[in-house]
Structures are given as structure tokens and as C-alpha cells.
């Protein structure tokens, strides 16, 4: 640790609310035997990060003060005594569920998440468990790499790991945020027909440039589920990425085919819903809860991204000092990802 500063700049959340996220100096952590210390190059923001700051995401499990933000990419500067997987100088990416390596998740996986309850990457340095860090693809920058751990893996785990997506199937993607744009890129690369719902014709046009086959503006076409049925000759979509939540889940059931899969990812419109159970029963809908994915899928996804040359879509990169502005941008909505460059 000789050439690493004893203190580092870090953003810390002292109480819930963005006003309580402040930049200061803290002691630079030292890696334990099984850990690595990375110099953070960039972090990307997810809705989870905003919900944590707002105090609506499992508030009882958030320690204070907290260095927030789970998704980071950077360079290894120090390794613990038992680490053989990485060496100083390697570029790596964080993985949200630091103990979920493969298979079914354990009941306590959320206890080991980065960015809460574990410290996150909105700092000059960050500790990662070596076992759960991932080598960054050499073809992408730190800024791009930082967008992969939650947004990309959530879309991949939904469509591919659980959904077993095949060419020629139809996928409905809600919106044009981080998870949604990765979902569009993955589904398009794998040969699916992609229908994107959006409130903005301008964003719809951008989604078409990324490979969307159909755009439904749900402001001008509020019965978007009926429009999906029309576009699929009354059959419905094979899969749907549900990022809105709330009462809209009933519309998602209407938009998917009999035995279709709805991946429940987000809760933009609320964390509870009144479901029409008879529709689920008769349509035999598969409603799959998605909490990102495991490390094995992450590594498979990175290989596929190289194969298909999928490049993350970043709307804006903020400097480290403007983290609060980055959160404010995320709250307004973005096409793709918001990134904070740390070093």
C-alpha cells in the first residue's frame, strides 16, 4: 500500500435524501486476505442507487454513513495474501451480489450486496472480494465497463438465463433506461423481434437505430398491450421486461402470449400491485422475479457482448465532483446509462 494514499475522497450518505450525500475524506481501506483494492475509474448509476439514497430501498439494511453505488470498474492496485485470480494492474468490474457465483441464490444474498449494505464505488478506491470480481473486457473503457454489473446482467439474466431467448421470438421492452436499452441490444443481437414502449417519439427513433422493430408510444396509445396483441397477430409477446411495476403488471400480462414470461425487474410506478389472478391462471403466465444475476452469467454475457460487439449506450458522463447532478439526471430519466468518471 506504499504508493496508495492513506486517505481517499469518497461520497457518503449520512441520512436519507440527496441533500445528505456529501464529498469528504475517509481512510483508504486495506484488502483482507481474499480481497482486492481497486482504484475506481468509473461508476454507473442504477435506479437501485437512487432508491437507496431516497430511503425507499430496504431502508433498515442501509448502514450510515454509506459510500453508495454498486457498479464500478477500475484497476487493481493491491491484492490480499490469498488472491490468485487477479494481479496488480488488472482491469476489473464489480459484481453486485458478491457471494452469488452460480446456481440458485441463497436466501441471504442481499446481505452481501455492494453499494448497500457493503460500501460502494463512489470513492477513489473500493474493496472487492476477488472471487466475485470480473475481468473487464479489453475492448471497452472503464466508463462502458461500469454499466454492465446491474443493467446489462439484469437484461441478460431475464432474456437468456431464465428466458432462453430464441431467434424469431418477440420481446417487449418497457422504456429506454439502462436495463431496457441493454435488453433491446441483447434481444436484437440474438435475432428476436423487439417492441419498445416509450413516452417519447424522439427516444423511440433512437431505439429503432439500435434495432427495435416496433415502437409504441404509450402516451398516444395508452392501450399499448392491445397494440402488442395487434402487432403479434393476437398471439402476444414471448417475453416482456417489466421495469415499471405497480398496477401496470396487468397490462403486461395482456401483452404476453399464453405461457409467456414476464421478468419483473423494476418498481418505478410502485412496489405493490393488484393482480387479476384469473388472467394469470387462464394465460398460464410465468412471472419471474429478477434480482440481477450470478457471476457465471456475467462472464457468459461479457463473452457474448464481445461476439456480438454490443457497446453500452451512455447518455452522459459526469465528473466525480458532480455526483449529485448525476443522481438528479437519473431521477429525470435517461436514454441508456448515466456514468460518473472517478479517475
Q: Inform me whether the pLDDT recorded for 329 exceeds 80.
A: yes
User: Taking the model in full, what pTM does it have?
Assistant: 0.96
Query: What does pLDDT average to over the chain?
Result: 96
Give a three-class secondary structure readout of the chain: CCCCCCEEEEEEECCCCHHHEEEEEEECCCCCCCEEEEEEEEEEECHHHHHHHHCCCCHHHCCCCECCCCEEEEEEEEECCCCCCCCCCCEEECCCECCCCCCCCCCCHHHHEECCCECCCCECEEEEEHHHCEECCCCCCHHHHCCHHHHHHHHHHHHHHHCCCCCCCEEEEECCCHHHHHHHHHHHHCCCEEEEEECCHHHHHHHHHCCCCEEEECCCCCCHHHHHHHHCCCCCEEEEEECCCHHHHHHHHHHEEEEEEEEECCCCCCCCCCCCHHHHHHHCCEEEECCCCCHHHHHHHHHHHHHHCCCCCEEEEEEHHHHHHHHHHHHHCCCCEEEEECC
Among candidate residues 154, 101, 108, the one with its CA nearest the CA of residue 129: 101
Beta bridge mates, 13: 21, 66
pLDDT tens digits for range 169-201? 999 999 999 999 999 999 999 999 999 999 999
Mean pLDDT (whole number) for 11-33:
98
Domains of the chain: 7-147+312-341 (3.90.180.10), 152-289 (3.40.50.720)
The alpha carbon dihedral of 14, 20, 26, 30 has a sign of positive
For residues 113-150, one letter each, b for 16 or more C-beta atoms within 10 angstroms of the residue's C-beta and e for the rest, the string is bbbbebbbbbbbbbbbbbebbbebeeebbbbbbbbbbb
pLDDT tens digits for range 137-152? 989 999 999 999 999 9
Name the pLDDT band for 2 (thresholds 50, 70, 90).
low
**Parallel, antiparallel, or unpaired: how do β-strands 91-93 and 134-135 relate?**
antiparallel
State the pLDDT at residue 253: 97
Q: Inform me whether the pLDDT recorded for 1 exceeds 60.
A: no
Q: Inform me whether the pLDDT recorded for 136 exceeds 80.
A: yes
Name the pLDDT band for 268 (thresholds 50, 70, 90).
confident
Determine the Cα–Cα distance for residues 261 and 286; give it in Å rounded to an integer.
5
Amino acid at each position: 500500500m506504499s504508493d496508495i494514499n492513506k486517505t481517499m475522497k469518497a461520497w457518503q450518505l449520512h441520512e436519507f435524501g440527496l441533500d445528505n450525500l456529501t464529498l469528504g475524506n475517509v481512510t483508504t481501506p486495506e484488502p483482507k486476505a481474499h480481497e482486492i483494492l481497486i482504484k475506481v475509474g468509473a461508476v454507473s448509476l442504477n435506479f437501485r442507487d437512487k432508491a437507496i439514497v431516497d430511503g425507499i430501498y430496504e431502508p433498515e439494511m442501509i448502514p450510515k454513513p454509506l459510500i453508495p453505488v454498486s457498479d464500478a470498474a477500475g484497476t487493481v492496485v493491491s491484492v490480499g495474501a490469498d488472491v490468485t485470480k487477479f494481479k496488480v494492474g488488472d482491469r476489473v468490474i464489480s459484481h453486485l451480489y458478491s457471494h452469488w457465483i452460480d446456481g440458485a441464490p441463497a436466501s441471504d444474498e442481499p446481505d452481501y450486496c455492494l453499494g448497500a449494505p457493503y460500501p460502494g464505488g463512489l470513492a477513489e478506491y473500493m474493496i472487492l472480494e476477488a472471487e466475485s470480481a470480473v475481468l473487464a473486457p479489453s475492448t471497452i473503457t472503464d466508463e462502458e465497463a461500469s454499466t454492465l454489473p446491474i443493467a446489462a446482467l439484469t437484461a441478460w439474466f431475464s432474456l437468456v438465463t431464465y428466458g432462453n431467448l430464441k431467434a424469431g421470438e418477440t420481446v417487449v421492452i418497457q422504456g429506454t433506461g439502462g436495463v431496457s436499452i441493454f435488453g433491446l441490444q441483447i434481444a436484437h443481437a440474438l435475432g428476436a423481434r423487439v417492441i419498445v414502449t416509450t413516452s417519447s417519439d424522439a427516444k423511440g427513433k433512437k431505439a429503432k437505430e439500435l434495432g427495435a422493430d416496433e415502437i409504441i408510444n404509450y402516451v398516444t396509445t395508452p392501450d399499448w398491450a392491445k397494440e402488442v396483441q395487434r402487432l403479434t397477430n393476437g398471439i402476444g409477446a414471448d417475453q416482456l421486461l417489466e421495469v415499471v411495476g405497480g398496477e401496470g403488471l396487468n397490462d403486461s400480462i395482456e401483452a404476453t402470449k399464453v405461457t409467456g414470461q414476464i421478468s419483473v425487474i423494476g418498481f418505478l410506478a410502485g412496489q405493490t400491485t393488484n393482480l387479476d389472478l384469473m388472467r394469470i391462471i387462464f394465460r398460464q403466465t410465468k412471472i419471474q422475479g429478477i434480482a440481477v444475476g450470478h457471476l457465471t452469467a456475467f462472464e457468459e454475457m461479457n463473452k457474448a457482448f464481445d461476439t456480438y460487439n454490443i457497446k453500452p449506450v451512455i447518455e452522459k458522463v459526469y465528473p466525480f465532483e458532480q455526483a449529485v447532478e448525476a443522481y438528479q439526471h437519473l431521477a429525470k430519466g435517461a436514454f441508456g446509462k448515466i456514468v460518473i468518471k472517478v479517475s
